[in-house]
Chain A
Amino acid sequence: MEASGKTTTAEPAGTPLLIGSSGDSLREAFGKTLVHLAPRYPNFVVFDADIAGGTGVHHFRKSYPERFFQFGIAEQNMMAAAGGFASTGIIPFVTTFAVFCLRALEQARLSIAYARRNVKIVASHPGLDTGPDGASAQATEDLAAFRAIPGMVVLSPADPLEIEQATEAILNYDGPVYMRSGRSKTRRILGADYRFEIGKGRVLREGRDVTIVACGVQVARALDAAEMLAADGIAARVVNMSTLKPLDKELVARCVEETSCLVTAEDHNVHGGLGSAVAEVVVQDRPCPIEMVGVQDTFGESGEPDELAEKYGLTGPYIAAAARRALERRKRN
């Protein structure tokens, strides 16, 4: 392969990046990270279906046009072509909106996962966080769908620092990955000492009364909820479960052991996503009360992300209320 000719000084692998600003959206952080990683990783290319500005990969297109492949508005061909491209030894990042990944789900299944191709699917605009585009663009089913594909790693990072680290981690992982980015500006919630690892959840806040397991934009809201609960004397543990698959079963088991009730929080249908993944583990191991905060099997609508989160019950107060319900159920048991 041709050297890129770029001379950006590369940091050693594993270094926390935060190359964007802390208030970046996950998509912006992802796009900037690709540019940052490009000199050190000449073995990847980026696929786009005419929404580079929406997915953040316009940064990469500008810096590395020879490594950027435009597929037009044709996601099925792009997804299956990624499988073929990967078979030549180069890693494609397939980028589009989460909802269009659903459109190309079967291509991801057969041509990527079944063939075990080293392809990274990175989906922006997941969940109600997508906002004013409305329900047609708000994918609240993607985690469930991709989680059901054998061999697919499924990630939903929580803040810019984490998606930067995750982007490098998946480049170093040999196999198919589905990762959510996100549309809204996010607040920085992870410290400089944070280390992302595929398959590992992280306890962001200790607590012994109840555990809130969250992913993506819901992690910040879970931390809000923990503050509210603390004001009432309830110590809530907050876990950032950025890997939905393979799920960190040991951490879930430890939380059940130590807090005896759980809340899950996700910007996704409560069917099939993080709540389901956690519940699958808990019922097989040691059943305990679980309350699931998420989209309650309905479609969204147009609106600002915060307005939608409020209307559909995803914000901190709703998570805190769910924690109180879980605690009540535990006491009754």
Chain B
Amino acid sequence: MQTQKADFSKTDLSKLEDLSKRLRICSLVAIYHAGSGHPGGALSAADLISYICGHLLAWPPSNGNGRAGDRFVLSKGHACPVLYAAAAECGLIPHRMLLTFRKLGSPLQGHPHVLDAPWVETSTGSLGQGFSAAIGMAMGLRYQRSQARVYAMLGDGEMQEGEVWEGAMCAGHYKLDNLCAVVDYNKLQSDDSNENIMGIAPLRAKWEAFRWHVIEIDGHDVNQIDAAFTEAKQTAVKPTIIIAHTLKGRGVSFMEASPLWHGSVKLRDEELATALQELGVSERQVGGYLDGSIWQDHNR
């Protein structure tokens, strides 16, 4: 069984920042080659996914697909490019597989599918369901006296699904302290801001009322992310939810804070080129990402 890791050094945290940047690059390249996909929520979640996959779960899992170990469910399944990017960066899949995202025959489905990619833990994409499945996992693991923990990431728009509150009530009732949820609170959803579509605030008071331990952080600050997940592990008799304040489209100036980049979009050549350069890719390397040769040639 995968055990909790020892405290890690500041050097590791800075490595996670580099990983976050690579996750953003890989996500956008995958979406570009797919001709569709949701960049906004992938970018806002990149720092959290970097921490969860790169450190917390320490992908690749040493025990197969992590069956006996900790689990992470991406309940906001539309943000899967960033999860697939993490799988590539952590060595679960070759980078060139990212070029097949959303394409016929690819294991990288438009929303995560557990039979194609076992490390996604459950199939998601219909909001609310991944959260419930994670609750079921936490209950099943506890029933079998496992020490493994379950993590789930929800979107803020997902809070509008009634099933989320059924699950929140259930996990609070059963005091599932082996469960930790994190909300990628980027304040925007498909058409507009949360507040204009269907107000979800105040999130802290809502989750506290459902008997959860609530932690609020800056979801782009790796030290705050680390502190929150550590606190969650140490919290007994309650499930924990980390409300991570994030910026939609984080890292790419023209995507930031714009609902235009939530939905499934087609990235144009010049848009990808600009975005990649903002993320630190040199002008010379951009072409390799545009035609995919950067991953084909290096056999990564």
Chain A residues close to B by CB (< 8 Å)? 1-2, 45, 69, 71-72, 74, 76-77, 79-90, 92, 106-107, 110-111, 114-116
Contact status of A88 and B140, CB under 8 A, knowing A107-B129, A107-B132, A116-B115: yes
Taking CB atoms and an 8 Å cut-off, the chain B residues in 141-182 that contact chain A are 141, 143-146, 162-163, 166-167, 169-170, 173
Q: Across the interface, which residues of A come within 8 angstroms of B139, CB to CB? A: 69, 81, 84-85
Q: Which residue of B lies closest to A67 (CB)?
A: B143
Q: How large is the interface on B (under 10, 10 to 19, 20 to 34, 35 or more residues)?
A: 20 to 34
Contacting residues, chain A, for B167 (C-beta < 8 A): 77, 81
Does B114 sit within 8 A of A, measured CB to CB?
yes
Complex contact B170–A81 (CB within 8 A): yes
B136 interface residue per 8 A CB criterion: yes
- Asked whether A80 lies within 8 Å of B129 as measured between CB atoms, the reply is yes
Chain A residues near B146 (CB-CB < 8 A): 88
Name A87's contact: one of B125, B126, B128, B137 (CB within 8 Å): B137
Q: Are A81 and B133 in contact (CB under 8 A)?
A: yes
11 A-B residue contacts at CB 8 Å?
Answer: A1-B144, A77-B170, A81-B135, A84-B133, A84-B138, A85-B136, A85-B137, A85-B139, A86-B136, A107-B129, A115-B115
Chain B minimum-CB-distance residue to A73: B166
B143 touches A80 (CB 8 A): no
Is B128 a contact partner of A76 (Cβ separation < 8 A)?
yes
Instruction: Report B-chain residues with C-beta under 8 Å of the C-beta of A88.
Output: 137, 140-141, 143-144, 146
B122 at the interface (CB under 8 A from A): yes
CB distance from B107 to the nearest CB of A (A): 14
Q: Chain B residues with Cβ under 8 A from A77's Cβ?
A: 132, 135, 163, 166-167, 170
A89 to B67, CA, bound (A): 10
C-alpha gap A85/B140 in the complex (Å): 5
Given known A-B contacts A72-B173, A76-B132, A85-B137, A106 and B126 have beta carbons under 8 A apart: yes
Closest to B150 in A: A84
Residues of B within 8 A of A69 (CB): 139
Given A72-B169, A110-B123, A115-B114, 15 more contacts at CB 8 Å? A2-B145, A76-B132, A84-B73, A84-B134, A84-B139, A85-B140, A88-B146, A89-B144, A92-B136, A110-B124, A110-B125, A110-B126, A111-B122, A111-B123, A111-B129
Top 8 A-B pairs, shortest CB-CB distance? A84-B136, A88-B140, A81-B136, A80-B132, A84-B133, A77-B166, A74-B166, A85-B136
Name the CB-closest residue of B to A70. B173
Contact of A76 among B122, B140, B166, B173 (CB under 8 A): B166
Contact A83 B136 (CB under 8 A): yes
Contact of A74 among B121, B124, B129, B169 (CB under 8 A): B169
Contact A115 B122 (CB under 8 A): yes
- Looking across the interface, which residue of chain B has its beta carbon closest to that of A76? B163
Q: Which residues of A contact B113 (CB under 8 A)?
A: 114-115
A74 touches B170 (CB 8 A): yes
Residues of A within 8 A of B173 (CB): 72
| Cα distance, A106 to B143, chains bound together (Å) | 26
CA distance A2 to B144 in the complex (A): 8
Q: How far apart sit A333 and B114, CA to CA, in the bound complex (Å)?
A: 51
Residues of A within 8 A of B143 (CB): 1, 45, 85, 88, 90
A42 nearest CB across to chain B (Å): 11
Which residue of the partner chain, among B114, B125, B144, B169, contacts A90 with CB atoms under 8 Å?
Answer: B144
* B contact residues around A87 at 8 Å (CB): 114, 121-122, 133, 136-137, 140
Query: B133 → chain A, closest Cβ, in Å?
Result: 3
